[in-house]
C-alpha cells in the first residue's frame, strides 16, 4: 500500500532503459529477452 501511495503522490521515477519506435517492436522484444538494458523498454508511436 505504501508503494501505491508513493506512486500516486509522484514520488517514484521509473528507470527508462531504452525507447524504440513501434516499428522496431521485434528488436525491442529481442533486447528484453537478451536483458540488454536495465529499466523499462518503451515502444513509442
The contacts of residue 17 (CB under 8 Å, 6+ apart) are: 37, 38, 39, 40, 41
Residue 7: its pLDDT value, please? Answer: 87
Q: pLDDT tens across 1-45, in order?
A: 899 999 899 999 889 999 999 999 999 999 999 999 999 999 999
H or E element that contains 18 = strand 16-21
* pLDDT of the residue at 16: 95
pTM for this one? 0.70
Q: Can you tell me whether residue 33 is helix, strand or coil?
A: helix
Amino acid at each position: 500500500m505504501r508503494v501505491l501511495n508513493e506512486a500516486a503522490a509522484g514520488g517514484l521515477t521509473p528507470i527508462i532503459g531504452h525507447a524504440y519506435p513501434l516499428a522496431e517492436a521485434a528488436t525491442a522484444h529481442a533486447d528484453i529477452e537478451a536483458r540488454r538494458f536495465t529499466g523499462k523498454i518503451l515502444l513509442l508511436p
